A and B are shown apart, each in its own frame.
Chain A
Amino acid sequence: MSELLSVEDLNAYYGESQILFDVSIDVGDNDVVGIFGRNGMGKTTLLDSIVNRIDRKTGRVVYDGEDISEWETHDIIREKIAYVPEDREIYPALTVRENLELAAPRTIDRSTREERLDYVFEKFERLGERESQRGGTLSGGEQQMLAIGRALVTDPDLLLLDEPTEGLAPTIIDDVIEILEELVTEDRAVLIVEQNITRMLPLIDRGYMIETGRIVADGDADYLDDEELQDEYLTV
């Protein structure tokens, strides 16, 4: 399998604080990869580093054969990488439709854009029902659907998901997992950051454990489904 994304010897900093230390990960075409670790271990920083949303980093991020380490965030996103951030970052004053239209690439024509919006509204019927509602009036679960929908209108080759179940009620988590189950079977690579490893293991091909900014274990879903390993790196 060829690598779609390679992160090589990544060190990342916020101000003077170093958050990641020599992190290397790979994501192949159509690969579903998980990054697991406790809060504050550097999972979000890893995704932020891939799309260049951090103060400073060293190392390389190679995507589809190109070194994108120094690219601007919007240029990286335009290479069909979509990012669903942990706190969703919905525009509260824009409607559901406007949030989606904003994410649709400038380069696609109107009919393609409408097709992609229809695809999102079919996948998330609740969003379709609330098309004209402002983003800020949606529930937490609906906002998460909108954040994922916003990523899907770009028709990404690589989808970055940061804690998609964080802060949601258990019944809503079931809905989101159901959506993720569909997404991972589609023709794209997915990199998921999560604390909830139990719910994610059935979805992923491979995964990495991260501890204080360092990759400490990696392997397939069977290898990571180990109580001792999870106790060491995930239990609070």
Chain B
Amino acid sequence: MMYHLPLLTSSEFATYLLNGISQGMIIFLVASGLTLIFGLIGLINFAHGALVALGGYGTLLIADATGSFWLGLFGAIALVALLGLVLERSVLHRVYERPLLGFLGTFGMYVVIEELISFQFGDQARQIASPLPGYVSFMGATYPKHRLLIIAIGFAVALGIGALLSYTRLGMEIHATATESETAEILGVDSARVYTLTFVIGAALAALAGGLTGPVTSVSPGMGMSYMILAFLVIIVGGMGSFKGSFLVSLIVGQITAFGWLFLQPTYVRLGVFVAAMVFILYKPRGFFGKPEVFE
């Protein structure tokens, strides 16, 4: 269904622009953990969606119990990171050499965790109270403070992970292990430790995404999977394993989604994003910044 092409005022434009950025940041926060894990380990981690949901529910429960959103968020991140550590050390490290088993195994984990959440808390969506309620004025528009918080944290995470990968010893070890783990070993790098740390960081990012977006979109057992579909699109178009590709494409998808709603119903906008991504991948199979070995 087509809408009339509207003329935007500056305040409307600012609102759509900020909506696009915040939507892009939510997608990025989910995609960043997936990208790290895929880029290093080559594992397509379906369980990531369940970790997002656990982050949301963990934040909700701890915030309810303590009255502090931030305690809830950081507590959930710590608990989900710990769960990530247990999953990686107990099961996942055994399937790194077997991608199909890894794919099926993590999908199984997703289903089990989602069903457990559903069994325990029901299927109804629940709202988390924002630590920053209210609105701010921006270019004549009023905009929710929490969405600006998501934008700020999204940029901070992008800069932080970018700096970790580019300027730290761990970043070099992640690069070395992802490129050739046997060579990393003869340089004294404990590749198993690097895999574990990366998986734990990815799990923590999933929990951050779940907890942070709770006040905007509410939390529900299936919340992770709805983000995962867009997150997979982002990491494919950005280039499998490319962190900067995920960031760039998340922002593009966010803007297309936000401004697309001016012209089309949300369902058609989403459909258009997937069709555009499919056409793009046909012409550029590696995505924007993908490594050649992923597809060749």
Contacts and interface: CB of A to CB of B under 8 A. Distances in A.
Contact of B188 (A85, A89, A103): A103
A53 B189 contact: no
Instruction: Categorize the interface residue count of chain B.
Output: 10 to 19
Interface stretch (B176-184, B199-207, B253-261): B176-184
B189 A51 contact: no
Contact of A91 (B169, B175, B185, B191): B175
B175 to A, nearest CB: 7
Prevailing SS type, chain B contact patch: helix
B175 A93 contact: yes
A94 to B, nearest CB: 7
B186 A102 contact: no
B185 to A, nearest CB: 4
A150 B179 contact: no
A83 interface: yes
A154 interface: yes
Interface residues of A, number: 22
A73 B189 CA distance: 9
A53 B188 contact: no
B189 A74 contact: yes
B175 A74 contact: no
Given A89-B180, A106-B169, A77 B175 contact: no
Contacts of A122: none
A195 B74 CA distance: 59
A101 interface: yes
A77 B186 contact: yes
B179 A74 contact: no
Nearest to A73: B185
B182 A91 contact: no
B64 interface: no
B186 A94 contact: no
Nearest to B188: A77
Contacts of B184: 74, 102
Between B172, B176, B188, B192, the greatest number of chain A beta carbons within 10 A of the residue's beta carbon is seen for: B188
Given A74-B191, A89-B180, A106-B169, A51 B175 contact: no
Given A91-B175, A93-B175, A105 B188 contact: yes
Contact of B186 (A53, A101, A105): A53
A150 B176 CA distance: 14
B190 interface: yes
A94 B187 CA distance: 14
Interface in A89-109: 89, 91, 93-94, 98, 101-103, 105-106
B114 interface: no
A91 B190 contact: no
Contacts of A115: none
A73 B172 contact: no
Contact of A53 (B169, B176, B179, B182): B182
Interface string B187-219: 111111000000000000000000000000000
A78 B190 CA distance: 10
A125 interface: no
Between B179, B185, B186, B191, the greatest number of chain A beta carbons within 10 A of the residue's beta carbon is seen for: B186
A102 B190 CA distance: 12
B110 to A, nearest CB: 32
Nearest to A105: B188
Interface string B131-159: 00000000000000000000000000000
A89 B173 CA distance: 15
A52 to B, nearest CB: 9
A77 B188 CA distance: 5
A93 B188 CA distance: 19
A73 B173 contact: no
Contacts of B176: 91, 94, 102
Contacts of A225: none
A51 B185 CA distance: 10
A102 B172 contact: yes
Interface of A: 51, 53, 72-75, 77-78, 83, 85, 89, 91, 93-94, 98, 101-103, 105-106, 150, 154
